[in-house]
A and B are shown apart, each in its own frame.
Chain A
């Protein structure tokens, strides 16, 4: 019994220590973000652009494919289920709520975690293993400012942008199905969508993208820096980064939705 409690206690202490480390890491990132320091802007911008390119632009085909499929599925399900109880009038509103508010940000977040989150953790973890971080520090370069801040900005900007692209592609997918089934013109479909949409829908979608981007980038870079010596820790940390990011995404999504509706 004592052994069992000891194991649980050790697990709790390890988690608490990990959480404290994460909080300290966040404080470090914030300090680097607001710490005015001359030089290094060009190289940081270069990293930022590369990050947006890899996380955002290169993820666009996958996002487009998933979004088109989701939009089409949502419309098909709406068109088959809603008329059973006279709810055709709510198709636009349901499409907006499901895609723009909820599934769009979540699915975009998953894709970014899968593609870029793991890449960031692996990249930084390998840099730690190969003592590149120590080399940067030896050269007087703040590794958080040089490696983390551009990735936080890059991933956040990419996730917000991908979120909007996802919404547009999903609505296009929905329109293509509507065109096939209902022979709706684009003008009527657009009018239906726009009349069902309010600015709060876009704002919530952008807010979720922004918060998800910060969470994913901070958690993944933190896991990268959590690698200590061995290269075998890198995939472990990548796995932890994915699990931690997905968990954080769901919690943040629930909190934002709860705050909006209550």
Chain B
């Protein structure tokens, strides 16, 4: 070997060479992590507003990083033009119907979310332009994709909230119509010449009369408990009457068998009397004194059946 190194020089050489190796290794590892050595595809899009948009922002599909924002600037049409790169392995997902939208996670900076294109569409070339959620075409594609895809629960809730807010903010929507009707109703109620005002005036007069002890209601309400005392008195009397009736009904119930026997006895007597009268009418000597001739006599038993007595309606039955 042409050079002869001292021991100290060798140690220092190793010491410094190791440092260079460590630095180079670290730079390579960082570069690999940041995908410096991979081919990247660039695309551009436009947004109406650019809050939170800056170079270095993560570009993702469904939460997986696929690239990063390269530049953000205000173009001549006053739209925010965003240029971003996508790693080669994900470039095929950027298709004609892909849409870029800004997503704000709960923690951290915003994310440029790419809605991947359909498989029936061709992949976009490097440097192509894709629609954003702020453009009519982007909105149309997003709505179409929302119909086609089965959304998760959170997405469904967000879609419902979006629809609700759209409905609420719609000037010709149900809420606006209801509010207009309510406004008309309130105008009508607040009008001095309206029927509601007249009704209120009438009610006011009536309540005034009542308070002045005028009319029946007024007298009833302000009679110093006269009506109340009268009702209490009547109730006491009714109570007494009811107790009397109860006593009477009890007596009748106790004597009902005797009444029945008396009635049967009376029936028998009446039958005998009827037979005797018929015999007398047919008698030669007394026939001329009778005013009723061939009169149909209804027996007392039949009379009982036809209306005098009913099942369960008699005394003591």
Main secondary structure of the interface of A (DSSP, over half): helix
Select which of B11, B26, B33, B34 is within 8 A of A202 by beta carbon.
B26
The answer to whether the Cβ of A165 comes within 8 Å of any Cβ in the partner chain is yes
The answer to whether the Cβ of B22 comes within 8 Å of any Cβ in the partner chain is yes
Chain A positions 138-191 with a Cβ under 8 Å from a chain B Cβ:
157, 160-161, 164-165, 168, 190-191
Hey, what's the 0/1 contact readout for A48-77 against B, CB within 8 Å counting as 1? 011011001100100000000000000000
Whether the pair A164, B22 counts as a contact (CB closer than 8 A) is yes
Cα A160 to Cα B30 with chains together (Å)? 20
Determine how close the nearest CB of chain B comes to the CB of A190; give it in whole angstroms.
8
Whether the pair B15, A56 counts as a contact (CB closer than 8 A) is yes
The answer to whether the Cβ of B186 comes within 8 Å of any Cβ in the partner chain is no
Query: Which range contains the number of B residues in contact with the other chain?
Result: 10 to 19
Whether the pair B15, A52 counts as a contact (CB closer than 8 A) is yes
Hey, what's the 0/1 contact readout for B23-43 against A, CB within 8 Å counting as 1? 100110111011000000000
The answer to whether the Cβ of B180 comes within 8 Å of any Cβ in the partner chain is no
Whether the pair B19, A160 counts as a contact (CB closer than 8 A) is yes
Whether the pair A164, B19 counts as a contact (CB closer than 8 A) is yes
Name which residue of chain B comes closest to A162, CB basis: B19
The answer to whether the Cβ of B16 comes within 8 Å of any Cβ in the partner chain is yes
The answer to whether the Cβ of B179 comes within 8 Å of any Cβ in the partner chain is no
The answer to whether the Cβ of A207 comes within 8 Å of any Cβ in the partner chain is no
Name which residue of chain A comes closest to B108, CB basis: A89
Cα A50 to Cα B6 with chains together (Å)? 11
Whether the pair A164, B15 counts as a contact (CB closer than 8 A) is no
The answer to whether the Cβ of B12 comes within 8 Å of any Cβ in the partner chain is yes
Cα A261 to Cα B8 with chains together (Å)? 41
Determine how close the nearest CB of chain A comes to the CB of B6; give it in whole angstroms.
8
**Cβ-Cβ contact count across A and B, 8 Å cutoff:** 49
* Chain A residues, Cβ within 8 Å of B33: 191, 194-195
Cα A190 to Cα B15 with chains together (Å)? 23
Whether A52 touches B26, Cβ cut-off 8 Å, given contacts A194-B33, A195-B33, is: no
The answer to whether the Cβ of A13 comes within 8 Å of any Cβ in the partner chain is no
Whether A52 touches B12, Cβ cut-off 8 Å, given contacts A194-B29, A199-B30, is: yes
Whether the pair A165, B19 counts as a contact (CB closer than 8 A) is yes
Chain B positions 271-317 with a Cβ under 8 Å from a chain A Cβ:
none
Cα A191 to Cα B16 with chains together (Å)? 25
Select which of B16, B31, B34 is within 8 A of A161 by beta carbon.
B16
The answer to whether the Cβ of B172 comes within 8 Å of any Cβ in the partner chain is no
Whether the pair B22, A49 counts as a contact (CB closer than 8 A) is no
Determine how close the nearest CB of chain A comes to the CB of B27; give it in whole angstroms.
6
Chain A positions 11-61 with a Cβ under 8 Å from a chain B Cβ:
49-50, 52-53, 56-57, 60
Hey, what's the 0/1 contact readout for A197-232 against B, CB within 8 Å counting as 1? 111001000100000000000000000000000000
Whether the pair A197, B8 counts as a contact (CB closer than 8 A) is no
The answer to whether the Cβ of B9 comes within 8 Å of any Cβ in the partner chain is yes
* Chain A residues, Cβ within 8 Å of B11: 53, 57
* Chain B residues, Cβ within 8 Å of A165: 19, 22
Cα A49 to Cα B15 with chains together (Å)? 11
Determine how close the nearest CB of chain B comes to the CB of A67; give it in whole angstroms.
13
Determine how close the nearest CB of chain A comes to the CB of B71; give it in whole angstroms.
19
Cα A202 to Cα B22 with chains together (Å)? 11
Whether the pair A202, B15 counts as a contact (CB closer than 8 A) is no
Whether the pair B15, A57 counts as a contact (CB closer than 8 A) is yes
* Chain A residues, Cβ within 8 Å of B22: 164-165, 168
Whether A198 touches B30, Cβ cut-off 8 Å, given contacts A164-B22, A206-B23, is: yes
Select which of B9, B23, B30, B31 is within 8 A of A49 by beta carbon.
B9
- What are 6 A-B pairs with beta-carbon distances under 8 A? A49-B8, A165-B22, A191-B33, A194-B30, A195-B33, A202-B26
**Top-6 shortest CB links A-B:** A161-B19, A52-B12, A194-B29, A164-B19, A57-B15, A49-B12
* Chain A residues with a Cβ under 8 A of chain B: 49-50, 52-53, 56-57, 60, 157, 160-161, 164-165, 168, 190-191, 194-195, 197-199, 202, 206
